[in-house]
Structure 1
Amino acid sequence: MTSIVIGSWTFRAAGREEAWMEAKVPGCVHTDLLRNGNIEDPFYGTNEHRLQWIDKQDWEYAAEFDAAAEQLDDDFVQLVFEGLDTYADVTLNGSRLLSADNMFRIWKAEVKGLLKESGNKLHIRFRSPVNEDLPKLERLGYALPATNDQSELGGLGDKRISVFARKAPYHYGWDWGPRFVTSGIWRPVRLESWSGVRISDLFIRQDAVSAEAAEVTAVVTVEAAASGPSTMVVTVEGREHRLEAELETGVQTLELPIRIEQPRLWWSRGLGEASLTEFQARVDKQDGAADSRTVRTGLRSVRLVRDRDEAGTSFYFELNGVAVFAKGANHIPNDSFVSEVTEDRYRHEILSAAEANMNMLRIWGGGIYEQDIFYDLCDEHGIMVWQDFMFACSMYPGDEAFLDNVRAEAEDNVRRLRNHPSIVLWCGNNEIDSAWAHYDENGGWGWKKDYTPEQRESIWADYEAIFHKLLPDAVERLSPGIGYWPSSPLISLTEDAGQHAYPESAAGDVHYWGVWHAVEPFENYKLKIGRFISEYGFQSFPEYRSVRSFAEEADMELLSTVMLAHQKNGAGNRLIKEYMDMYLPEPKDFPAFLYESQILQAEAMKMAIEAHRRRRPYCMGTLYWQMNDCWPVASWAGMDYFGRWKAMHYYAKRSFRDVLLSADRTGTGIDLHLVNDLQASLQGTLKVSLLDFSGLTLAEREVPAAAAGGQSRLLLSLAGEELLPESAASDSVLVTAELVAEDGSLLAAASAFLEGDRQLALAPASIHVEEIEGSGGSRFRVSASRLARAVWLQSDREGIFSDNFFDLVPGRPVTVAFKALKPGAVRYEAADAGRVTASSMGDAVKALAAKG
């Protein structure tokens, strides 16, 4: 097979006699306009509001290309469009090829009869998504719920049309993202040709996998130009497996069972190596035609375990027979303009997940089915993927054309992704079952009240057609053995009120948003715990230099026009301030507010993560909202648009450690828990110290400690009167705990205050950062004159520290390393941090300098 990528493209507004401008493909009209100087930075200030005209205009793209001589001689020649966004009419040399209507599908057209040796003219007209879908709303006669569709910002009033387009839902706006309804060629366009025979797909179906043997089937889709005898050979780990077959003209599927003795298994991060195995299939016809294809997968058994137990019904993933506690976050697209996400940006995200001890990412249903590189990296780093289909927070039409489109979309994407061992679950949608709550008249988000009984039944029937029939059928047919979950969150498909999830559900998965949306206290994270918490979160701002990327110094105020434009959750800034007044001391200025917002978020997520982990095995998963951002904004993300780790990501790294010592401040004291996610048991000595803020040890205690593999245990409960000598004040002491192995090595550590941050006697501390000789500027020893709360190390170079936003006790210096991701590198490497500065909460707070 011969394949070339169609390169040089130009574009312009359709229907106008304007000059053609240079276009970048993959790309979109917004980024092409920006590169040509026709618009200003969409992310800066309030520019988003001034760019809403773009989606109401048709756009045209054109390319001229030559065909390779051998392609003209081949039997079959196709143009393959891996991603057209979204409504596109395609012609070649003046002849119509196809009309596309789904961003997520792969579109193909036979072009042998149209192709010339040179000067082929390819033209694509992208019809306005707004103008295309407004008539569909009119024809339906009533609006479908689409809570996050920012139609008002787009100049459409209450006409929410996102549900009619098979296009990334977040393009229409979300409560963390802007409204940029794009058009363009977002994945490559290729000219492919072949003669004789072609392998168009190779799927390694994993029938039964264990440590003793892997029983797999190579499922090979073969296209033959003519019938005749052939030999198929599948090679794995140096061994050939053969099948003699009589090919028919056209498309057929060949299956070859293979047994691999004592396979190298694929494990998620923390449980073992993420071993990958390569399979090569080759088909040779007796007439001399031949083709081959290679895929890489990981051999593993995986299932979603939902068994009845004394508490309700379990919900966890079992990998190679081991129950896995899922630790991670929800992933959204890394950019509003997805073609701007480079491989290095993907690499930074997945390595950031691995560095933070995560073993799962949930690809949320309002974005895109991710690029191949995303899943490749998850495969390599042992990051399991919970994969949503691209439906979120809306009800959808169910006419025949829409269902056929969705069916083709599902088949394209399940087929494309099914060899990735990282994908452990397909989920139908995000939050729709609980939002509509069909079987609970008073449940859900209030959507049902706007419809007649007949309309309700029709809307729900359309929902069931997609999520209870069409999508699970596609998964079962094309990726057998991988679980399907209809909606997140959900208890079970009971067809009664017991179907719809709530925060304390004893079955299914849970999205808990009482903290944040309902302004419940952080402490409720310790009370409202389900079997698997697949969403929860709290907002913060990015750091000052990231905020300055979209705002001027004059905009540095919580209620400024620009700051509100970069806060898509209507009550967001108010809620951050309201919670800050509850939990943290008052910041002295706006940069300090930005910093404290990150500490506030981090403390909330630490409380949630560790509460969930302490409840193992009742709770077996914690995925916070959200991993990343698609533009610079105040949001729930743990790292900002530029990939800079917020305090939360550093906190998560500590709270996600495989061996966790968790210090839980109770109403009367502190409980110390040991959580062991490893398969092997642990034992050692728990050493507990009470220190004052000058570093003086006031009391010490040691007790033996142990935990079996996969166990959470309460090691020690300390009441307030045990902890605090009469001479000490509760606002000026710190409890530290260390779990020390028999050989003296440190297995885990934790600390806790007896009072909340708002009550602590904080003051500025003198923090000393000393470069370690011989480290090339990559390692530092950090010490403090008095307790320094949430020490923030900053470098003038991009990278990450091995630890950050940590508490620093006098006499107990901390050594940190600085690492950076070099272009094309597969891991973070030691790097020169340049100038490093340090500050703490004592430096940020207002009117506390005299305390302590």
Structure 2
Amino acid sequence: MNERKLPLNDWRLRAPEATEWLPARVPGCVHTDLLRNGKMKDPFYGTNEKELQWIDKQDWDYETMFDVPADVLAESGLELVFEGLDTYADVDLNDHRLFSADNMFRTWTADVKPFLLESGNKLAIRFRSPIREGLDKLQRHGFGLPAPNDDSETGGVGDKKLSMFSRKAPYHYGWDWGPRFVTSGIWRPVYLRSRSGLTIRDMFIRQDRVSPVSAQIAAVLEIETEAPWEGNLSLSSGSHRWETPVILHAGIQTVSLPAEIPAPSLWWCRGYGEPVMHAFKAAFTQAGIIAAEKTVRAGLRDIKLVRNPDTHGTSFYFELNGVPVFAKGANHVPGDSFATEMTDERYRHEIATAVESNFNMLRVWGGGIYEQDIFYELCDEYGMLVWQDFIFACSMYPGDEAFVENVRREAEDNVRRLRNHPCIALWCGNNEIDGAWAQYTEDAGWGWKKLYTAEQRGKIWADYEAVFHKTLPEVVERLIPGADYWPSSPMQALTGDHTQHATTNSTSGDIHFWSVWHASEPFENYNLNIGRFMSEYGFQSFPEYRTVRTYAAETEMELESEVMLHHQRHKSGNRLIKEYSDIYCKEPKDFPSFLYMSQVLQAEAMKMAIEAHRRRKNYCMGTLYWQINDCWPVASWSSMDYYGRWKAVQYYARKSCKDVLLSIAESEGETGFHLISDLLSPLEGSLSVRLLDFQGRLLKETSQPVSMEANTAERVFAIPTQEWIGGETAESLVLVAEFSVMSGEILDRTEYYFVPAKQLALEEPHITVTENAGAAGPSFTFTASRLAKQVYLETETEGIFSENFFDLVPGLPTTVTFRKRDDGAIPFVPAAPVGLSVRSMFDFIKR
């Protein structure tokens, strides 16, 4: 096979009417090129976003000149490949129109053999304004469609919602956590590809039946050959090799070679086993000479979404290699408003953060992008399951023939690109649209149906079904036979009646529970509203002070300042944080202290939710909070901020997602001790419980032997609450519980308070720090003379602590290590933190 790629990276950019060309970076976009050339302000600082909305209202030209080596020019097949054009692009080569693109998520190719020159080729791309294109499509459609997160007001187009008409990242148009930057540009690689003879266009390792005993697979290859060809096709992986004779006709065709691997090494998600990957090499040979070959990597695993009727309703969980998996993790959004600014290191930092936090699943949410290859490669490498949405969210979409065909091709491109990744557990049609429209329940949903006539409603729903109930599942089944497809998240089932739509107490399907936050319900309701799989829920906080200062001057450090409101995209966000803080937290002494308190508040909320879900393991089998990351520096639901700095909730989530968790909850006058194990072997050990006052005085204690079955949850012990409190003051008491195994190793320790943090009788804790030398870097031992609540460690060095935002009980020292963030293959490496600062809640409250 002769296949070569000639990357085209030397580009320039200008507006059509401008005379000055600017150097452009490809992959990239107009906004980042303008920023690098000093033609626009920092888009994330202050309220600069508002002043930059002119960029998406005009066209932009990209241009490159290139030569073609004579031997490449002589090849029989020459095509230009554009892996991503954002979004409306007219592409010309040497003044010949090759095509016009209209989908950010498709790969575009063009046969350029007739137009190429050996030198002086000019490739020109005009990106038409996505806003003008959207306005034209809105007018042709005849009426608008709902898209509440489309920030058309900031975009300068009034109430005209345009995002749903373009196959482009919805979050570019704004969201309740992100800005509005409607980009244009060459956002994925572009290259000249030469082909001759026999070419393997695509290779899929279809997994027909996989178990620890045997993996029955097939290599499915799409072949293009210029002339009839006869020879052998071989497939090899490790020490295994399979071969068959093949006869090919001229043109494009598909051939497959079945294979069986005895006792295969399987791919497992984090916590359940090793994420073993295999290289598979296919080769076409003729008389011992290789005519074409291709290698892909795949992990052998059997993954299915199990939805079986039971006494409660219908189960909803993922079974991996025959083992039920409790999914622990978060929702993922694009890591930058400008997707090409995401480096490999930033991706690795996020996936490594998920692993450090004991996650085993991330949901790629439908309002962003189909992620870059590196994202899925890292999830494969680290054993991180992926719930993959198709890119549709919180809007109704047109369903004309051209739109549906565009979606079909988009789905084919991305399913083909991603289907060898073992990390992908589920393909989901969209985010929240079924529930928002609520076709079968007149007064349910988000009130959208009432905006339309009966005729319009009929068309809108028919268009919805054409995309999500027909086109997308057909593509998935055809290209990945047997893979699971879920039409919308959340929903109960595809029933065609009111039982299709999810509610906050559904006993089937998945649930997005937002009454805590949007409806101002108390945190305690996380304990009451538990479904079979909690695929969204969340609570906001601000990022830390140094992150806030990257977008706000000191004069703007106030909750209702213009900049602070601009970097809070939920219309009631700052008010809600303050409202909940007043209920659960002590009054902060100043605004920087409020930033800290907001993180503590968020952490406590998510701890309550995650642990409530895990205590109901077997009934509930998944907890994915909203959201792990941010696309710009902002107050949001994220657990790490735009710069990758862990908020308090990331440290809390790491503890609440431990593979063996000890969780404490009160009910009906008892304080119950719950043990949750995701281990695949039984546990035997001991539970110890101590009641102490805030000076560390032991008031009561008990211990209990514990036996646990594998992969389950159980309330293993309980105490009568009031009897244990006795005549003591609840505001000055802490329960400390530990679960240890027979060897004496403590698998988990946790603290529990009988009153909210607001009521705790905190005094100056007098924290002392002892530095301990170590071969892998220093550790730090912390002690206190009185309870130190939410001990907050800061350092100038970017990285993570082994513990942070922890409670320090007198007499129970805590030792902490630090690892700095690194851009190598190991994302966190031991180091000494620079400028270590130690504070607790007492330092932040108004006294």
Q: Which residue is equivalent to 1:781?
A: 781
Deviation at 1:178, TM superposition (A): 0.2
Moved more, 138-147 or 411-420: 138-147
Q: Which residue is equivalent to 2:513?
A: 512
Letter in 1 for 2:710: G
Asked if structure 2 preserves the Cα contact closer than 8 Å seen for 1:389 and 1:426, the reply is yes
1:644-672 deviation per Cα after TM superposition (whole angstroms, max 9, x unaligned): 00000000000000100001144634211
Quote the Cα distance in structure 2 between the aligned partners of 1:355 and 1:636.
19
Q: Which residue is equivalent to 2:770?
A: 770
Q: Which residue is equivalent to 1:12?
A: 14
Residue 406 of structure 2 corresponds to residue 400 of structure 1: no
Deviation at 1:776, TM superposition (A): 6.3
Q: Which residue is equivalent to 1:277?
A: 278
Asked if structure 1 preserves the Cα contact closer than 8 Å seen for 2:90 and 2:127, the reply is yes
Q: Which residue is equivalent to 2:159?
A: 158
Quote the Cα distance in structure 1 between the aligned partners of 2:240 and 2:720.
64
Asked if structure 2 preserves the Cα contact closer than 8 Å seen for 1:665 and 1:752, the reply is no
Quote the Cα distance in structure 2 between the aligned partners of 1:454 and 1:169.
27
Residue 579 of structure 2 corresponds to residue 616 of structure 1: no
Q: Which residue is equivalent to 1:801?
A: 801
Asked if structure 2 preserves the Cα contact closer than 8 Å seen for 1:312 and 1:506, the reply is yes
Relative distance call for 1:292 and 1:659 in structure 2 (3 A) is same
1:279-332 deviation per Cα after TM superposition (whole angstroms, max 9, x unaligned): 011123469671211111110001000000000000000000000000000000
Provide the TM-score with structure 1 as the length reference. 0.98
Q: Secondary structure at the match of 1:153?
A: coil
Quote the Cα distance in structure 2 between the aligned partners of 1:444 and 1:582.
30
Letter in 2 for 1:617: N
Q: Which residue is equivalent to 1:307?
A: 308
Residue 567 of structure 2 corresponds to residue 566 of structure 1: yes
Q: Which residue is equivalent to 1:838?
A: 838
Residue 660 of structure 2 corresponds to residue 663 of structure 1: no
Residue 728 of structure 2 corresponds to residue 721 of structure 1: no
Letter in 1 for 2:616: R
Residue 248 of structure 2 corresponds to residue 247 of structure 1: yes
Relative distance call for 1:435 and 1:721 in structure 2 (3 A) is same
Deviation at 1:239, TM superposition (A): 2.3
Asked if structure 1 preserves the Cα contact closer than 8 Å seen for 2:337 and 2:632, the reply is yes
Relative distance call for 1:103 and 1:729 in structure 2 (3 A) is same
Deviation at 1:683, TM superposition (A): 1.2
Aligned counterparts, 1:536-551, within 5 A: 536-551=537-552
Relative distance call for 1:289 and 1:742 in structure 2 (3 A) is closer
Provide the TM-score with structure 2 as the length reference. 0.99
Asked if structure 2 preserves the Cα contact closer than 8 Å seen for 1:665 and 1:753, the reply is no
Quote the Cα distance in structure 1 between the aligned partners of 2:230 and 2:489.
49
Q: Which residue is equivalent to 2:186?
A: 185
Quote the Cα distance in structure 2 between the aligned partners of 1:637 and 1:312.
32
Q: Which residue is equivalent to 1:49?
A: 50
Moved more, 510-519 or 765-774: 765-774
1:622-658 deviation per Cα after TM superposition (whole angstroms, max 9, x unaligned): 0000010000000000000000000000000000001
Quote the Cα distance in structure 1 between the aligned partners of 2:530 and 2:301.
30
Asked if structure 2 preserves the Cα contact closer than 8 Å seen for 1:199 and 1:283, the reply is no
Q: Secondary structure at the match of 1:314?
A: coil
Aligned counterparts, 1:227-266, within 5 A: 227-266=228-267
Q: Which residue is equivalent to 1:583?
A: 584
Aligned counterparts, 1:347-746, within 5 A: 347-666=348-667, 668-726=669-727, 728-746=728-746
Runs of 4+ in 1 over 6 A off after TM superposition: none
Quote the Cα distance in structure 1 between the aligned partners of 2:776 and 2:393.
48
Asked if structure 2 preserves the Cα contact closer than 8 Å seen for 1:690 and 1:734, the reply is yes
Residue 120 of structure 2 corresponds to residue 119 of structure 1: yes
Asked if structure 1 preserves the Cα contact closer than 8 Å seen for 2:84 and 2:187, the reply is yes
Residue 753 of structure 2 corresponds to residue 753 of structure 1: yes
Deviation at 1:777, TM superposition (A): 4.7
Quote the Cα distance in structure 2 between the aligned partners of 1:652 and 1:152.
36
Residue 25 of structure 2 corresponds to residue 40 of structure 1: no
Asked if structure 2 preserves the Cα contact closer than 8 Å seen for 1:59 and 1:127, the reply is yes
Q: Which residue is equivalent to 1:815?
A: 815
Deviation at 1:829, TM superposition (A): 1.6
Relative distance call for 1:264 and 1:302 in structure 2 (3 A) is same
Q: Secondary structure at the match of 2:792?
A: strand
Relative distance call for 1:778 and 1:77 in structure 2 (3 A) is farther
Q: Secondary structure at the match of 1:215?
A: strand
Quote the Cα distance in structure 2 between the aligned partners of 1:663 and 1:70.
71
Deviation at 1:138, TM superposition (A): 1.1
Quote the Cα distance in structure 1 between the aligned partners of 2:433 and 2:682.
41
Asked if structure 2 preserves the Cα contact closer than 8 Å seen for 1:777 and 1:834, the reply is no
Quote the Cα distance in structure 2 between the aligned partners of 1:232 and 1:826.
39
1:24-69 deviation per Cα after TM superposition (whole angstroms, max 9, x unaligned): 1110000000000000100000000000000001000011112133
Quote the Cα distance in structure 1 between the aligned partners of 2:820 and 2:600.
23
Deviation at 1:710, TM superposition (A): 1.5
RMSD, aligned α-carbons? 1.1
Q: Which residue is equivalent to 1:850?
A: none
What fraction of aligned residue pairs are identical, expressed as a percent?
58
Letter in 2 for 1:470: T
Quote the Cα distance in structure 1 between the aligned partners of 2:4 and 2:741.
59
1:212-241 deviation per Cα after TM superposition (whole angstroms, max 9, x unaligned): 000000001111011121221111112221
Asked if structure 1 preserves the Cα contact closer than 8 Å seen for 2:694 and 2:786, the reply is yes
1:368-417 deviation per Cα after TM superposition (whole angstroms, max 9, x unaligned): 00000000000011110000000000000000000010000000000000
Asked if structure 2 preserves the Cα contact closer than 8 Å seen for 1:82 and 1:188, the reply is yes
Q: Secondary structure at the match of 2:354?
A: helix
Deviation at 1:553, TM superposition (A): 0.4
Relative distance call for 1:57 and 1:286 in structure 2 (3 A) is farther
Moved more, 780-789 or 191-200: 780-789
Deviation at 1:716, TM superposition (A): 1.6
Deviation at 1:775, TM superposition (A): 4.7
Asked if structure 1 preserves the Cα contact closer than 8 Å seen for 2:283 and 2:290, the reply is no
Moved more, 447-456 or 820-829: 820-829
Letter in 2 for 1:225: E
Deviation at 1:481, TM superposition (A): 2.0
Deviation at 1:760, TM superposition (A): 0.3
Letter in 1 for 2:596: Y
1:452-510 deviation per Cα after TM superposition (whole angstroms, max 9, x unaligned): 11110110000000000000000000011210000000001111111100011000000
Q: Secondary structure at the match of 2:350?
A: helix
Quote the Cα distance in structure 1 between the aligned partners of 2:60 and 2:779.
52
Asked if structure 2 preserves the Cα contact closer than 8 Å seen for 1:303 and 1:482, the reply is yes
Quote the Cα distance in structure 1 between the aligned partners of 2:708 and 2:415.
40
Moved more, 5-14 or 351-360: 5-14
Which runs of 5 or more residues in structure 2 are unaligned? none
Q: Secondary structure at the match of 1:312?
A: coil
Q: Secondary structure at the match of 1:313?
A: coil
Letter in 1 for 2:738: E
Asked if structure 2 preserves the Cα contact closer than 8 Å seen for 1:347 and 1:826, the reply is no
The number of equivalent residue pairs is 845
Letter in 2 for 1:113: P
Letter in 1 for 2:611: E
Quote the Cα distance in structure 2 between the aligned partners of 1:734 and 1:531.
32
Moved more, 438-447 or 108-117: 108-117
